[in-house]
Amino acid sequence: MVRVGIAGLGFMGWIHWLAYKRIPDMEVVAICETDPIKRAGDWRSIQGNFGPPGEVVDLSRVSAYDSLPAMLANPDIDLIDICLPPAMHHDVAIQSLNAGKHVLSEKPMSLWTDKCDLMVAAAQANKRQLMVAHVLPFFPEYAVARQVIAEGTYGKLLGGRFLRVISDPQWLTGFYDPNKIGGPMLDLHVHDAHLICLLFGRPKEVISRGRVKGSVAKYWNSFLTFDDPDQTVCVTSGVIDQQGRSFTHGFEIHLERATIHFELAVIDGKVEAMPLKIITASQGVIRPEMPVGDDVAGFEAELREAHRALTSGQPSKILGCELARDAIELCYRQSESIFQAQGK
C-alpha cells in the first residue's frame, strides 16, 4: 500500500483524489489545506474546465493539516502529491524530499530551471523518487500513439507537428505572471514540450517566432531539430483572443511507413474531433479502437504508473524528474528565441 498526502485541494487535488479512489493499492491518508472549510470535507467550491464538480467528502479516516511541516511529520505518509500553484512546487517538493517522502508534483515541475535542478538534487541526496505529473502521455490518443511508435511496426520516428491553443483564460488570475503561473509557455505548452522530449529527446536547435504579452510568450510557432537529421518537429501553441474556440490540441506524428493523426477542439462549447487514425503506406487508413474512459481515467493511469515506480523501485521514464526538467528547459529555449527575434 502506498500512503499518500495531498498538498493543496484545488481542482487538480480533487481530480487526483478521485483517481486514487480507483486504485486499491494507493490510499490518501492525509491532506494539507489552508481553507478550514475544505479541511472539514466540504469541497463543493471546487470547479474546473472538465470533470465533475467538487462534493462533500468523508475525511473521517484522513488526517487534515493546515501546514506542510505538520503533514510531513506524519510517519504514515509515503508519497506527497503536490497540487499547489506552480510557483510553490519547488519549495514544497524540496521540503518533502528532505523529510524522507517520495514526491509527485503537478506540472510544471517549476517556473525556473535552476529550481528544477535543486529539486533533482534533493531527490538524489535523499534517495527518494521525484515524479512530475505530466498526464498527457496517458490520455488515450497519446497513449496509443506512444504504443504504435514503441512497437516499431511502421519504422523509425521521423518527426511531427504538435498543436495546443486556448482562448484567453480571463478567469485565471496571474496567468501571464512569470512568477505565479508562467503564461501559456509553462502552463499550456509544457505538456507538448514534455511529450516531445519523451519521444525525441532534447532538441539540437530551437527556432521560435510569435507574439508576446508583457514578459511571456503569448502565441508562437516553433521549429525543432535533433541529432538525427531526418527528425524535425513543428509546434503551434499559445493563446488567441477569441472566446469561441476555448481549446484545441492534437498531433501529426510521422513514421517511415505511417502517419498518426489526431485533433480535437472545443468550439462554442461543443467538442469537435478528428479521431485518431494511422495513415499507412500499404494498409490504407487504420482507425484504432480507443479505450473507453472518463475525464479521470488518464489521471488514474498516471497514478498507477507512479505506484508501479514506487513499489518496484524502478523510476518511471514518463514521470521522471529529469525529463520534466528538460521540458522546462525547452520552454525557456523557445521563449528566448521569440524575444530575441523581437529584439527584446
Q: Are residue 142 and residue 238 in the same domain, yes or no?
A: yes
Distances (CA, A) of 104 to 6, 24, 165, 239, 245: 10, 18, 26, 28, 32
Based on the domain organization, do 33 and 169 belong to the same domain? Answer: no
pLDDT tens string 126-155: 999 999 999 999 999 999 999 999 999 999
pLDDT 10s digits, 108-131: 999 999 999 999 999 999 999 999
Pair (98, 13) in one structural domain: yes
Residue-level pLDDT at 253 = 98
Shared domain check, 334 and 225? yes
pTM for the whole structure: 0.95
Amino acid present at 91: D
Average pLDDT of the chain, as a whole number: 96
Give me the pLDDT at residue 190, please.
Answer: 98
pLDDT of residue 251: 98
The packing angle between helices 190-200 and 140-151, to 10°, is 10
Grid cell at residue 261: 493523426
Q: Are residues 274 and 174 in the same domain?
A: yes
Structural domain of 119: 2-133
Dihedral over Cα of 201, 199, 119, 186: its sign: positive
Do 124 and 225 sit in the same domain of this protein?
no
Please tell me the least confidently modeled range out of 42-46, 146-150, 330-334: 42-46
Kindly indicate the confidence band of residue 48, based on its pLDDT and cuts at 50, 70 and 90: confident
Among candidate residues 87, 112, 133, the one where a domain is terminated: 133
Whether residue 100 sits in one domain with residue 202? no
Indicate if 282 and 324 belong to the same structural domain.
Answer: yes
Cell of 233: 518537429
The string of pLDDT tens digits covering residues 162-198 is 999 999 998 888 999 999 999 999 999 999 999 999 9
